[in-house]
Chains A and B, each alone.
Chain A
Amino acid sequence: MEKTYSPISPDQSTGRGRIRRWFSGIPVLGWIFGALVAVVLEYYLGDALSEVLGLEKVPALFGVTLILKKPLLLPKCLMFVGLIYVIPISVVAKYLSPLTNRIAGKLIQYPYGVSAVLHLALLYAVFYIWSDVSAYRLLTLKLSLIAVMITLSLNVVNGYMGEFSCSHPGFLALGAYGASVITVLFFVKDKLFGAPLLPPAIGPYLYPVALVLGGLLASVGALVIAVPSFRTRGDYLAIISLAFMFIVKSLIENLEIVGGPRGLSSQPGWSSLLTVFIWTVLCVWIINNFVRSTLGKAANAVRDDESAADAMTVNTRRTKVVTFMFAAFWAGVAGGLYAHVIRYANPGDFGIQKLADVLAMVYLGGLNSVVGSIVGAVGMSILGEALRPLGIYKWIIIPLLLILVMIFRPTGLIAFREFDVREILKPKRRM
């Protein structure tokens, strides 16, 4: 708005505009290349540089935690982040842009799966090298990716279908317990189930099967919610789904065979970064396709006006059942991955607190938007970790942020936006 009234000619516009122009024409591939260079730099020079700057270690989360603990370290951390991340990424992204544009242009001529796989492989390399520096980073990254899956699957119901469902922790619990019981029963020597039934060596190959079965178990649970949702809407559905969550929780608490309130431990640590990454990519890809499919559009129609949708030949019952089961499946898979990262499952973990966390992620990121869910989940996970040094004040700042977002953007940061893979992958010519 300001720009149109500004008397300055386009050539001498503000610094912000100049920066934007300087960076325009860089394809996503260019940014990933830049990030790759930055993490490789950090991998080899991070220790030396932090020593020169007088930091004790390479800052784990871009120095935010360090700054909050000792504010005087701010310049050092800024310098570190600048030298390792900001400068290399921007320089590489900028000066390789002719090359990366040409590569992206060539790749787009093939089926776009080729280009997508290449981009994802590079992205994984970035994650891998970045998280190799510290175990804390690795754990935060894994849990953030899992949070993306959970948020996205909840967004399918709450955002795309517009039903306010509170049963997600229940689906998570079903998936976590389903997958854990299979892996522990078949591949681990444990005090609950005794000796493994199959040789543990083949376990990692059958781990995906366990995750899928966990997801299917959650889907079956979703049927229980889908049926009453035919007749109820709004608050009533919220209450029914909340009840479902409590039913699942107390069911597990009373099932002595899976450890009852003591929880189920000794899951094998098979949720490696690669496993979590692949499942997250699958989840994002499939959900993105789902919401753009006929069925996804039908879910949107149900959200906007159920009786109108019904009149326009949308089978609302089928839409609701399929959407609920589909979302629950991904929540279940996420739950299985989660249980194998933490290597423990306790019914107490899948209660109101978890629900509040997930809802915050969905509504912060934005309804009806795949990008929004990713931003919300990663944002909340990183924020939760970065603000840890503030202690109790963290619980003032995060809710305050949420309130501000709700006031200024009632549907979330990036709501109602399409996530078009082809648009992202294509080369960007200079403006």
Chain B
Amino acid sequence: MKKGLVTITLFLLVGLLLSPCTWGRVKTIKIGINAPLTGDIPKVGEGTKYAAEMWLEDVKAAGGIEVGGKRYPVELVIEDNESKAESAVKVQTKMITEDEVLVIVGPQSSKQAVPAGGVADNYKTPMISPWSTNPDTTKDRPFVFRGCFLDPFQGPVVANFITKEFGFKKAAVLYDVASDYPKGLAEFFKKAWEDIHGPGSVVAFESFTTKDADFSSQLTNIIKSGAEVLFTPQYYNEVALIVQQAHELGFNKPIVGSDSWGSAETVNLCGKDCYGLFFSTHYAAAGATGATKEFIDRYRGKYGYVPDDVAALTWDSLHIVQKAIESCGKLTGRIGKDRKAVRDAMAKIKDFHGITGKMTFTEEGDPIKCAVIVRISEKGEFEFYKSVCP
């Protein structure tokens, strides 16, 4: 018994001496990343993490972030929200109260970003969600921003593009009724289309439920309705099925999509059926120039695949955060005050040149930025087609 006590005491003392000394605390800027590393959408979490690590490399190479003439080292606090609302809230609270992060980037999907945004706003911590499109994320929350455009903007963009490009008058929509993003976009598209072409010009408005794989009855209705174009704002796995089944059923008119098509998997799964189709998105990988190309090449060189829009938006969000920190004058060391200063600086950002376009924040914290129309080329690459601005 006595021997045991002596051993434990000795062990503790030696450990105390050996453990890294935190007496002379170096003040670092901590940035929280709330990402779905496990759960339903691990690929999104991976893109977020990789983009964040690349950004950190740059900052480290520059010796940290410069605020008011002083350079501060930067640390990332990457936490997994398991793509669950409950975990996202826990992680958010932990990062704010335990790790004392200055700013939070994420969560990505709305299911987590809406409740986590509430937490960030409660604790007056600036947060930017790169990918969430639900209006509730930023609504009445002065501390919450986002890096992407909203569905009410993207819907009309696509409607205008189809009208100008093809001159069609009758459109059909096929969407997932159980998923927040496609449903919202489908409704905004319908509204915009009917504003242009009059009521009833969306001749078929068909829906299905997540994980459905057979769309033949909906597609038959769409074909019967005489639609000239099909708009389907779905994710890559469904896009492949929808497009292939539509072609099998004899629908040979254009099919147009939204930014959820912008994954490398779309063409892998869909093959030749998708060649020549259009979709609207945040940026185009093929034919990119300047900083965008630089980012894509670096990312591909490092991780072996072309980054999708989540990675690009995360990259931009981190640069917005960096710019806000740099332009807030000085850091006082009192976290509450610094967070407020960063928030104010972020709200004032105008004409920020990101790799997904130029952006300025509105009162609500949503950016005004241009959308890109991408064409899938005959080689299966995403080609820049044209840029559409509000």
Report A's interface with B, CB cutoff 8 A.
Answer: 15, 18, 53-57, 60, 70, 72-76, 78-79, 134-136, 139-140, 143, 191, 250, 253-254, 260-263, 265-266, 338, 342-344, 346-349, 353, 385, 388, 391-392, 395
Contact = CB atoms under 8 A, between A and B. Distances in A.
B33 to A, nearest CB: 12
11 contacts: A60-B98, A72-B15, A79-B16, A135-B96, A346-B111, A349-B84, A391-B37, A392-B37, A392-B38, A392-B80, A395-B38
A139 B22 contact: no
Contacts of A78: 12
B61 interface: no
B86 A349 contact: yes
A57 B93 contact: no
Given A60-B94, A134-B97, A342-B85, 14 more contacts: A55-B22, A72-B19, A75-B14, A75-B19, A135-B123, A139-B89, A261-B183, A262-B110, A342-B89, A344-B118, A353-B84, A388-B79, A388-B91, A395-B38
Interface stretch (B174-182, B221-229, B291-299, B357-365): B174-182
B16 A76 contact: yes
Contacts of B97: 134-136
Contacts of B25: 56
Interface string B90-109: 11011011100000000000
Q: Interface residues of B: mostly helix, strand, loop or mixed?
A: helix
A76 B19 contact: yes
A71 to B, nearest CB: 9
A353 B39 contact: yes
B86 A261 contact: no
B84 A253 contact: no
A253 B110 contact: no
Q: Most A CB atoms within 10 A — which of B13, B80, B84, B94?
A: B94
Interface size class for chain B? 35 or more
Interface of B: 1, 4, 11-16, 18-23, 25, 37-39, 79-80, 84-86, 89-91, 93-94, 96-98, 110-111, 114-115, 118, 123, 134, 136, 139, 177-180, 183-184, 209
Nearest to A246: B209
Contacts of B184: 262
Given A60-B94, A261-B178, A344-B85, A250 B11 contact: no
A272 to B, nearest CB: 14
A136 B93 contact: yes
A221 to B, nearest CB: 19
Contacts of A266: 136
A259 to B, nearest CB: 9
A60 B118 CA distance: 22
A394 to B, nearest CB: 8
Nearest to B133: A262
B118 A343 contact: yes
Contacts of A72: 15, 18-20
Closest A-B pairs by Cβ, 5 of them:
A75-B15, A344-B115, A253-B178, A261-B180, A72-B19
B19 A57 contact: no
Nearest to B137: A265
